[in-house]
Structure 1
Amino acid sequence: MSLEDSKSDIEERPRLRLNLQILPAQVQGEKMLVFQDPEGWCEDVIILPANLAPLLQFFDGTRSFREIQEEIMRQTQELVPADNIRELAQELDEHLLLDSNRFRDYVRSRMKEWMETRTRAPVLAGTTYPSNSSELKKFLDDFYLADSGPGMPQENRTNELKAIVAPHIELRGNGEVYAYAYKRLYEESQAELFIILGTGHHPLEDMLVFSEKDFETPFGVVETDRGFIQAVRKRMKKRAHAGDFSHRKEHSIEIQLVFLQHLLLGKRNFKIVPALVGNFQTMIELGISPAEDILFKDYLDALKEQIKDDGRKIALIASADLAHLGPRYGDREFYAPIREDEIKSDDGRMLSYLERCDADGFFQSVASDKDTRKICGLAPIYFTFKLAEPKRAELLKWSAWFDSATKSAVSFCAMALY
């Protein structure tokens, strides 16, 4: 696109979108800025030189390109050509990072497409996992068979298992932890319906957001139990429910489905109830427990009643990671592998409440420091424990992933609830 074209396409007063995360990073020894889009519209990794930070602070929608140029001149005594500023804005806009007409048109078109489709297409196939079903089967087999894996699942023996906690982190290098959870699920559950409570990484309009769409992976289409969802809604006091657009790009449910299909296809018919859980940040700030929240209790009671009356064998899956630490997640401290024991110890104290089946103690342990460790799986784990009401919970495996570029870390685990 020529500069003349870009002048007509882009707003004269550029504004960065409000929910963007702009993080410092070292890339090949150079200080850079990494743009992350929590809402998932920008799918690319955008990295720009850190020396653009003084310029970007003025992309607030109140200044023209000429006025931004003047502000930079006042602050740094450096003359930055207005056309250079415009070109930067154009680049950001092409990646959907500006609050602009281009961005709003894109959102409208994607929402229209979503409403017209009955099946959610996979978003991780070909990147996080292979898009070919035969390659995907071997890819997942290898997690069970790895030296650090649990071994391939044996034949199902019981139906004692009520729920599992499994991660949703990048599979490569971390898939063995998933395998521990799913080996236990296969061997000790005969469920015909799986209620998957996924972490909602993007802002949700409700405490719990169901989708009535079927979900597709390279293994085929998984049928969603729309009747179950509709029955839950009828039991609720709340009558208006959020749309399911948040499911479009959210990966925390899709990544569980490939493990379910890998183990059960051709052996057992099953359906799913996909639901994303909103975060508990408001409750943490207000100092109240989710159990005291009217909306949470409405969803919880309706689900409990429907599960009790359904008559089928049902299992729950909490798709949940644990701590998110380091500059990539807004911290000033660095987290390298040398700190793994420290992270494991901190997680251990928190998880000990779950091992005692004390969901409220787990919540309070996270809320006591205002969730400074950013436990992204707090809500789905808490919801799962409150729904399953286990008498026993077992920590099967714990691990951590480290990002060397930003010196950050994510911890995660597998658990079985009985």
Structure 2
Amino acid sequence: MLENERTEIVNNKLFNSLSAPIPPVRRDIQIIPVSDDGRDLLIFYDPIKIAESGFALDSSVEPILSLIDGQKSITQMQPFFRNGISPDKLLEFVQMLDNQKLLESPYFQHYSGWIEEQFENSDIRQPALVQTSYPAEIAELKAFMDSLMDEAGSSHADNPVKEAKALYAPHIDLRVGSKQYAEAFSALKSLRPKRVVILATSHYSGYHPEIYDGNPFIGSRKDYLLPGTRFETDLAYIEKLEETAKSAGFTLHDRAHRIEHSIETHLLFIHHIWQHDFKIVPILVGGLDELFYKEDGDLGQKVSAFTETLQQADDEDTFYLISGDLSHVGRKFGDQVQASIMRPDVEEFDESFLSAAVQGDNQIMLQTVAEEFDAYRVCGFPPLYTFLKAFPGLNGKKINYNWWDETERESAVSFGSVIY
């Protein structure tokens, strides 16, 4: 943001009252207690990347934070502190939180809206994972990707497939799933598609219900950037999708793409294995939970309309990447027991899910997930179900399956790959 624009927003929007209720701390902010060199800190993590990363406060401020509930004013808070914190000091603290975009305030709404509008008005999508998941420098990135592919010892590396229609592969952390990524994408080395349609899990559309309720399919006209590479989007294909946008639940309001990792991760690998020219069609797929209750309702009709459009736009030069993981279980995801106890049941479920995937049967897949109302939170279900409904009966082959045990959080994520 230009400095004068930011200054104007700060001056006009920061909370500045002793008697009005203080805006509450944002509900989506995660406050994580940590110990650093003997000092107890609170780290503030913003999942939608509006607040600056790495911001932390001493844990002694916790009593003040607990009183910022959206109801109390600074004047009403002051009696809670026997040490006599002045109203001006409390206001200064609140304004510091507001300036950091941590409060559900007019300033945050204005600032975040500006960020989202700037993104939507751009014609490119900047990389979101660079320098956190992979290097920014081109030579370092190539070496990094070489290491991921080489260390896996992929069984397909020397025997890639000659024909394929699609690949279902994870988007889990690159280092966690390096072997599975390498096995899956090595199989594609001999292919030369002219268009790559990417159907990927949308992790952030739920933060914008005003845009995405009723619109589970989120496209973008933007070209995607990686270090040294620009993936050109197939605008003609996007226009075909846009023709049936209303009936198919398709939208080009693409703010859900801004920090999404599910497409970017796959682009890293196809850039690494393919040197020929091709265009991409980036599509995020939001939740399809309504199908568990009524398959032929409004959402079901939109899914049918969208998948029919995919069928009509298909040709022999089009390849499909489906980006999704499998089960997300344990305390981190809201379960009451640790993932290790759940593992036998989860693996049995994953086997049934992957069996439906290999059979290319979207109906069995829906029944499998709906039976327990997606109790294991399969983030890959929406994009994979969408693909299989568009192209039923394709024969798949399971490439791999893995379980990532995040022991310190008593949680786990499973993931795997299927080639069609």
Q: How far apart, in 2, do the equivalents of 1:27 and 1:356 lie?
A: 49
Provide the residue aligned with 1:365 in structure 2. Answer: 368
Provide the residue aligned with 1:410 in structure 2. Answer: 413
Q: How far apart, in 1, do the equivalents of 2:404 and 2:41 lie?
A: 22
The residue correspondences of 1:147-166 to structure 2 (distance < 5 A) are 148-150=152-154, 153-154=157-158, 158-159=162-163, 161-166=164-169
Provide the residue aligned with 1:120 in structure 2. Answer: 125
Of 348, 352, 356, the match for 1:349: 352
The answer to whether the aligner puts 1:223 opposite 2:232 as a matched pair is yes
Of 8, 11, 15, the match for 1:10: 15
Provide the residue aligned with 1:135 in structure 2. Answer: 140
Q: 1:344 to 1:139 in 2, by over 3 A?
A: farther
Q: How far apart, in 2, do the equivalents of 1:279 and 1:150 lie?
A: 32
Provide the residue aligned with 2:209 in structure 1. Answer: none
Deviation at 1:390, TM superposition (A): 4.2
The answer to whether the aligner puts 1:261 opposite 2:271 as a matched pair is yes
Q: How far apart, in 1, do the equivalents of 2:380 and 2:115 lie?
A: 27
The alignment partner of 2:339 has SS state of coil
Given that 1:150 and 1:179 are in contact with CA atoms closer than 8 Å, whether structure 2 keeps it comes out as yes
The answer to whether the aligner puts 1:109 opposite 2:111 as a matched pair is no
1:340-379 CA-to-partner distances (Å, cap 9, x unmatched) read 5554333223322222222222222222222222212221
Of 383, 394, 403, the match for 1:391: 394
Q: How far apart, in 2, do the equivalents of 1:216 and 1:381 lie?
A: 25
Q: 1:54 to 1:378 in 2, by over 3 A?
A: farther
Deviation at 1:218, TM superposition (A): 1.3
Provide the residue aligned with 1:212 in structure 2. Answer: 221
Given that 2:127 and 2:225 are in contact with CA atoms closer than 8 Å, whether structure 1 keeps it comes out as yes
Q: Look up the equivalent residue of 1:98 and give its one-letter code.
A: L
The answer to whether the aligner puts 1:144 opposite 2:146 as a matched pair is no
Provide the residue aligned with 2:71 in structure 1. Answer: 62
1:375-408 CA-to-partner distances (Å, cap 9, x unmatched) read 1222111112222324312221122333344332
Q: 1:82 to 1:186 in 2, by over 3 A?
A: farther
Q: How far apart, in 1, do the equivalents of 2:299 and 2:118 lie?
A: 38
Is the deviation greater in 11-20 or in 407-416? 11-20
Provide the residue aligned with 1:303 in structure 2. Answer: 310
Of 286, 289, 292, the match for 1:281: 289
The answer to whether the aligner puts 1:379 opposite 2:386 as a matched pair is no
Q: 1:393 to 1:16 in 2, by over 3 A?
A: farther
Provide the residue aligned with 1:241 in structure 2. Answer: 251
Given that 2:120 and 2:254 are in contact with CA atoms closer than 8 Å, whether structure 1 keeps it comes out as no
- Please list every run of 5 or more consecutive structure 1 residues that lacks an aligned counterpart in the other structure: none
> How many residues align structurally?
398
1:296-350 CA-to-partner distances (Å, cap 9, x unmatched) read 122111121111xxx44111111111222233323332335x8655543332233
The alignment partner of 1:171 has SS state of coil
Q: TM-score, normalised by structure 2?
A: 0.81
Q: How far apart, in 2, do the equivalents of 1:57 and 1:231 lie?
A: 51
1:177-200 CA-to-partner distances (Å, cap 9, x unmatched) read 11122112224x432111001111
Provide the residue aligned with 2:300 in structure 1. Answer: 293
Given that 1:162 and 1:390 are in contact with CA atoms closer than 8 Å, whether structure 2 keeps it comes out as no
The residue correspondences of 1:39-78 to structure 2 (distance < 5 A) are 39-42=48-51, 44=53, 56=65, 58-68=67-77
Q: How far apart, in 2, do the equivalents of 1:24 and 1:335 lie?
A: 21
Q: How far apart, in 2, do the equivalents of 1:34 and 1:328 lie?
A: 17
Q: Look up the equivalent residue of 2:265 and give its one-letter code.
A: I
The answer to whether the aligner puts 1:93 opposite 2:101 as a matched pair is no
Given that 2:40 and 2:59 are in contact with CA atoms closer than 8 Å, whether structure 1 keeps it comes out as yes
1:20-52 CA-to-partner distances (Å, cap 9, x unmatched) read 164777768999877554444235266678897
Deviation at 1:166, TM superposition (A): 1.2
Q: 1:359 to 1:238 in 2, by over 3 A?
A: closer
Given that 2:323 and 2:380 are in contact with CA atoms closer than 8 Å, whether structure 1 keeps it comes out as yes
Q: How far apart, in 2, do the equivalents of 1:47 and 1:335 lie?
A: 29
Q: Look up the equivalent residue of 1:97 and give its one-letter code.
A: L
Q: How far apart, in 2, do the equivalents of 1:399 and 1:290 lie?
A: 35
Q: How far apart, in 2, do the equivalents of 1:251 and 1:107 lie?
A: 19
Given that 1:219 and 1:258 are in contact with CA atoms closer than 8 Å, whether structure 2 keeps it comes out as no
Q: Look up the equivalent residue of 2:325 and give its one-letter code.
A: D
Q: 1:52 to 1:365 in 2, by over 3 A?
A: farther
Higher relative contact order (CA 8 A, sep 6+): 1
Q: Look up the equivalent residue of 2:116 and give its one-letter code.
A: M
Q: TM-score, normalised by structure 1?
A: 0.82
The alignment partner of 1:195 has SS state of strand
The residue correspondences of 1:156-195 to structure 2 (distance < 5 A) are 158-159=162-163, 161-187=164-190, 189-195=191-197
Is the deviation greater in 344-353 or in 376-385? 344-353
Provide the residue aligned with 2:3 in structure 1. Answer: none
Deviation at 1:292, TM superposition (A): 6.6
The alignment partner of 2:413 has SS state of strand
Given that 1:401 and 1:410 are in contact with CA atoms closer than 8 Å, whether structure 2 keeps it comes out as yes
CA RMSD of aligned residues (A): 3.5
1:127-150 CA-to-partner distances (Å, cap 9, x unmatched) read 10111222222222222222x441
Given that 1:324 and 1:410 are in contact with CA atoms closer than 8 Å, whether structure 2 keeps it comes out as yes
Q: How far apart, in 1, do the equivalents of 2:93 and 2:345 lie?
A: 41
Q: Look up the equivalent residue of 1:247 and give its one-letter code.
A: H
The alignment partner of 1:398 has SS state of strand
